[in-house]
Amino acid sequence: MKQIALILSLFVSMTVLSQDALLTNTDGRKNVSLNGKWHYIIDTYETGFYDYRYKERKEDDRSAYWNRNEQKAKTDLIEHTYTDENSLNVPGDWNSQDRQFLHYEGTVWYQREFEKPQLSDNEQVYLYFAGVNYEAHVYLNGKKLGTHKGGFTAFNFKIPTNLLQEKGNFLVVKVDNKRHSDEIPTLNTDWWNYGGITRDVKLVIVPKNPIVQYDIHVDQKQDILASIKKKSFDLSGFVKFDTSADSKIVVEIPELKLKKEFPVKGDSIAFSFKTPNISLWSPENPKLYEVIFTNGKQRISEKIGFRKIEVIGKKIVLNGKQIFMRGISIHEEIAQQIRRAHSLDDAKQLLGWAKDLGCNMVRLAHYPHNENMTRLADEMGLLVWSEIPVYWTIDFGNPEVLKKAEKQLEEMIDRDRNRASIVIWSVGNETPVSEKRTVFMSTLAKKTKLLDNSRLVSAALEVNHKDNKNVIDDPLGAFTDIISVNEYLGWYVGLPNDCETAVWEVKYDKPFFISETGADAKAGFHADKLTRFSEEYQEWYYQEQIDMFSRFPDNFSGLSPWILCDFRSPKRNNPLYQQLWNRKGLIADNGQKKKAFFVLQEFYRKLKASGK
């Protein structure tokens, strides 16, 4: 009995501490931004968390950094407090905000106050974080709301209403971006480990039993060409409530004069219905419809596009037509300011450059990007590859690590499942072939399909090079819809003109996609084409690669070269050309386009003109 009680209380404390089901479309709900200046304390030794015996501090310990600690009398001993002098902007990485943070990896405490928002009797408040890198512990008025791990996915906590004060709510977040071998990503990445509350924070005001998530999409089972012909489409989806309800849900698409009602019993319902003519979403026609979900007084709406993506034989087919993906890979970074990208303006800059290059697709590497990116991609008509940071050599044999990867996968899909632009979920990048790894990665691929069968699943694989023969036989290819590979023929292997004689062997009869290819060039460094790091070398590399692609068989379905912009990486230490930058950008750290940009732009212009 005692044991059961113990297990029960453990379970309760675990559930209290992990986050609540993610509210999606938070901008489509009543919300109050908590962006702005937050106080901070750098805590390398985690003194605010552990006492001098290195035990986690008790909740009411005044020295815990989640507690208010002001000197009232001159005899009071105070060893920490938050002050205006030490403030950081939220959203934003800490590295770019003050020189002392440039290489910092560790704990920083963030603190701010807020007023209780106006609430009616039937309303409650969630505290929503769009992204904190990597581990967050969240406290309000001295009580722990919960924790979250994963630097690129959103999470939220329900705030118990009795915890909210009218004024001066004391909110503290312990943020820790230390890398660990059993986390995702792991110790080793070729990108900067920007720390902090890197994305928006807000209070979201919702009814007592909110619709937490919903989904509406073109049903995958229908023959889309027949639907186009008949002018009749099957839509399906679901609505999830926080807890059970006995009511009804109304789904409306005003532009289509469509209004459907479904009874709700339990905490979720699946629905499907027919609708007359829809203008399907595509890069050429990024049509979005306002969709409204109503449950009693609760009403939530957003703009959603409808399309069908599938693989037929060796082709990628969008709305019944074969497509070729003219892509580019992008990191979530604004190079000119050496910082993480987070805002709509940042998204406009990055996706605007991709459009300028002639792209109809972007690979958002190597982790889920902020929501501005995927929403803007919907509006601009850019197909999206979205990925979880299962990168290089993860601890594949560890079941706990698999759980962490699965959680990030779920969080990525939960947030963005209504984005028509996203056509590929990627479960990882360049993971080294082994039995354990293939079990791990194929589990993720299968889980992706279970979570969402309306998109393709992929992973960026590696190539086996031998004597200019390039073989793709990774067993993970059996579990993905398309075969995507990263290849650097002419940079890490041989010279660019090796492309002329390269032989390619792909073991799978599936669409073939080049998810990366690229070479470093320092903008403004000019030399003959054989000189590494010159713009001429990079230009030559792209020319040779493009010639090679024209000899690829017809399952070649697109490419997303590496990469749109130069980006920061602690691994790049050539003192003349790199200086902690990966220089494979087609655009330099000052925004200047390199020669290779125009080579790829011309290739994409010709492809487009030829109908691809």
Note the residues at the interface with ligand GCB (CB under 6 A): 190, 366, 429-430, 486, 516, 562, 582, 584
- Name which of 328, 421, 409 is nearest 367 in CA terms: 409
Report the residue number, 26 or 189, with the smaller CB distance to ligand GCB: 189
From the CB of 426, what's the least distance to ligand GCB, in Å? 11
Report the residue number, 366 or 419, with the smaller CB distance to ligand GCB: 366
From the CB of 205, what's the least distance to ligand GCB, in Å? 40
Report the residue number, 396 or 567, with the smaller CB distance to ligand GCB: 567
The answer to whether 108 and 94 have CB atoms below 8 angstroms apart is yes
Report the residue number, 24 or 408, with the smaller CB distance to ligand GCB: 408
From the CB of 490, what's the least distance to ligand GCB, in Å? 13
Both structure tokens of 408: 């990030």
606 Ramachandran zone, left/alpha/beta (phi>0; psi -120 to 50): alpha
From the CB of 484, what's the least distance to ligand GCB, in Å? 11
How far is Cα 246 from Cα 267, in angstroms, rounded to an integer? Answer: 9
Q: Where are the beta strands (DSSP E) in 305-350?
A: 309-312, 315-318, 321-322, 325-330, 333-334, 339-340
Both structure tokens of 276: 């007359």
DSSP 24: P
- Name which of 209, 270, 273, 274 is nearest 238 in CA terms: 270
How far is Cα 261 from Cα 141, in angstroms, rounded to an integer? Answer: 42
Report the residue number, 138 or 563, with the smaller CB distance to ligand GCB: 563
Report the residue number, 252 or 516, with the smaller CB distance to ligand GCB: 516
CB hemisphere CA count around 583 (13 angstroms): 24
Both structure tokens of 411: 């969080």
From the CB of 586, what's the least distance to ligand GCB, in Å? 13
Q: What is the DSSP string of 51-85?
A: -TTS-BPPTT-TTSTTS-----STT--------TT
From the CB of 330, what's the least distance to ligand GCB, in Å? 12
Report the residue number, 319 or 582, with the smaller CB distance to ligand GCB: 582
Close Cβ partners of 100 (under 8 Å, ≥ 6 residues apart): 42
The answer to whether 157 and 20 have CB atoms below 8 angstroms apart is yes
- Name which of 420, 473, 423, 474 is nearest 448 in CA terms: 423
Backbone torsions φ then ψ of 229, nearest 5 degrees? -65, -45
Produce one character per residue of 485-513: b if its CB has 16 or more CB atoms within 10 Å, e if not. Answer: bbbbbbbeeebbbbbeebebebebebbbb
Residue nearest to ligand GCB (CB): 190
From the CB of 486, what's the least distance to ligand GCB, in Å? 4
From the CB of 120, what's the least distance to ligand GCB, in Å? 49
How far is Cα 379 from Cα 600, in angstroms, rounded to an integer? Answer: 24
In the chain, DSSP finds a helix count (H) and a strand count (E) of 8, 33
Both structure tokens of 555: 């399952």
From the CB of 429, what's the least distance to ligand GCB, in Å? 5
Report the residue number, 295 or 470, with the smaller CB distance to ligand GCB: 470
From the CB of 18, what's the least distance to ligand GCB, in Å? 30
How far is Cα 396 from Cα 442, in angstroms, rounded to an integer? Answer: 12
Report the residue number, 190 or 379, with the smaller CB distance to ligand GCB: 190
Report the residue number, 282 or 486, with the smaller CB distance to ligand GCB: 486
- Residue 294 forms beta bridges with which residues? 250, 299
How far is Cα 195 from Cα 103, in angstroms, rounded to an integer? Answer: 10
Please state, as a whole number, how many other Cβ atoms lie within 10 Å of the Cβ of residue 557.
Answer: 24
Q: Is the peptide bond preceding residue 388 cis, with omega within 30 degrees of 0?
A: no
DSSP 285: B
Report the residue number, 124 or 560, with the smaller CB distance to ligand GCB: 560
Report the residue number, 487 or 539, with the smaller CB distance to ligand GCB: 487
Report the residue number, 440 or 567, with the smaller CB distance to ligand GCB: 567
From the CB of 314, what's the least distance to ligand GCB, in Å? 24
How far is Cα 471 from Cα 465, in angstroms, rounded to an integer? Answer: 6
Report the residue number, 169 or 486, with the smaller CB distance to ligand GCB: 486
From the CB of 487, what's the least distance to ligand GCB, in Å? 9
From the CB of 366, what's the least distance to ligand GCB, in Å? 6
Close Cβ partners of 14 (under 8 Å, ≥ 6 residues apart): none
From the CB of 569, what's the least distance to ligand GCB, in Å? 7
